Structure 1
Amino acid sequence: MKKIIILVGLAVLMSITPITMAKAAYNRDITIPTKQLAVVDGKIKSQINIDKEIKGVNPWLYVDVKLDATKSKQGKFNYAELALKRAFSYFVENKLSLRDGDFSIILNNGFVINKDNFSDKKVTDIAMKEILDKDFYREDTIFKMAFLYHDNAVERTTSWKLIDTIDLPAGSSHTINKRYTAGITKSEELDMGLTLGLKFITESSASAGIDIKYASAKTLAKINTDVNATRSKTFKNSSEIKSSFESTTNIAYNPCNEDKVILRYQLVENYKVDPSAFKDATSKLEKLMNSYGRDIVKIEPTSGESGIDIPVDQIFDVTINK
């Protein structure tokens, strides 16, 4: 049976052998894993999903345009150039204006083509060097795009993920110290910002671009604040995301007559661009790029299709017979 308890109840349960010293860091009701949830049909589950919600977020959608052909240079055709031209055509047809800042192109060298610099000859030269002069092969990212999409949405899944299995031999009695990581790195914070549709591409100029993976110090300094503010405004019961850190837990157990195993689960929140919203936003664009019988490219979220995992500073142990 599923147990829904608040943190006070969780603290009580965690005082029972085996003892798990975990910080109370989650401010919502959660489903605690049990033997019935952890082991299904004799198989240990690596992930126990407990909650999912989809919410509309900020309107900026970030996509990677990846080559789906064997290589970009095909005789008289350059698929990278063709994809870029068709992308511009698509945005014009859909009344999105580069001049008005409705979309931007991010080249692989980090340079951003946007409303501030698109008419400068330097930008044309940079784009030609990055698109025409380079060889791209299947799965390579040709360029990235950021554009406005009114129905941008994010899917949040909360789950318990199996992070460790600890043997408990019959008759033994001792204490184990275990480390685990919570929070997210700076790079993951940036990916979270891209997933949530925040705008990170306003600082580029004709003389210097800004790689969205290596944003300016000013941008990085405020990214965590922006991400947390957006999450708390968008999703119910959002606790603060902290930068990555390590915690240590102390597991003590008494001897018993059977071999047992502790299944250690950590609470994890996963955020990703909602697949349905992403398909609605990009399917026509992808189809246009691949028109006239040539499968040139495929489009994927810049933050990844699998999303960003945020390990929470909350763990729980399930003991089973070996």
Structure 2
Amino acid sequence: MPWTWFASGLFLVICLRPVFGVWGEAVLGPFGGLDAVFQASLLEWSARHVWHPEIWRHLPIFHPAGNAIAFMDPLTAQAILVEPLHGLGMSSAALYNAAFLIALVLSCAATAALWQASGGDARSGGVAAMLLIGSPYTLAQLGHLNQLPPPGVPAVLAALICALTGWERGTATARYWWLMSAALIAQAAMGWYGFAYALLAAGIVLAGWVLRHHRTLARRPAARAAVLPLVVAAAGVWILATPHLETAAREVDFTRHPGEVMWYSADAQHLLNTGAYRAGPADLVGRGEDPAKRHLGVARQVLNPGWMALLLATVGFAARSGLTARRREWGYLLLTAGVAG
């Protein structure tokens, strides 16, 4: 096993270290842990009822806010993954930690697949996985099962790149379109945050590829292989979204104002905002403020991951002359998708 995969495994251990001794009693909970506790109960409910689809038309009731689910993912895919453990009588905390570990492993595998699809060496795929798992944003958000990690995002991009590469070379692409369809549906079942970005990133990569190759597209066979998988993906996502949308429609007053969104923003456009994603020297050496104070805005929280993304993008762009033309092309498209994040 390459050393890079050992490093990725080490990061997984670091991520879950706080709950190893209390696996069935405690969960990772950022920002005071309220979201994690709520999601743990959601996951347990979903795992209990996952094989009773008729119940999903009436999503779980949380007194006194009966429609609280309108603003939280039902964690359907995670519930399916841990349902066998639920059958063994594991607690909601143990189910939640197991689901998070599985999601982290899937994200590592999907990121390595994206690395290889864009021209990277199979033995060094652990580097990409390590950077994802060890990033400041991942470590800061540990416990938000509906947001992190989103394995469907790199999986969708990897399948799309393989499909476009095959289309360009005139080889069979149907299996890659079906993989992309499955990844989109799976990510929608895992969390809508990740699904939205998977859709955005895939759209940017596809649009950039079409612009790059528009002169030769007319001479290539039509991508008929993509039609049915994408129709199936749209239908699957719609089925998953319908109960959610129906519930949300009854809660029209819930909204986030632009200032609140910017406060918690962690993308490249808001590197200089004054929100939660900032770290001072004390935070970097482990002497930062209490997480609850950080959540309230009393203290800074963590380094904005946009800075790490910018650093990696700069290093990659500077090294582009040593890459093949194919890797440069995919690198530019993925960089554009990342900036738009």
* Alignment TM class, shorter chain as reference: under 0.3
Relative to its length, the structure with more helix (as a share) is 2
Q: Which has the higher contact order (CA 8 A, sep 6+)?
A: 1
Q: Is the strand fraction higher in 1 or 2?
A: 1
Query: Under a length normalisation based on structure 1, what TM-score does the superposition of the two structures give?
Result: 0.25
Point out the structure with max Rg over C-alpha.
1
Name the TM-score, length of structure 2 as normaliser: 0.24
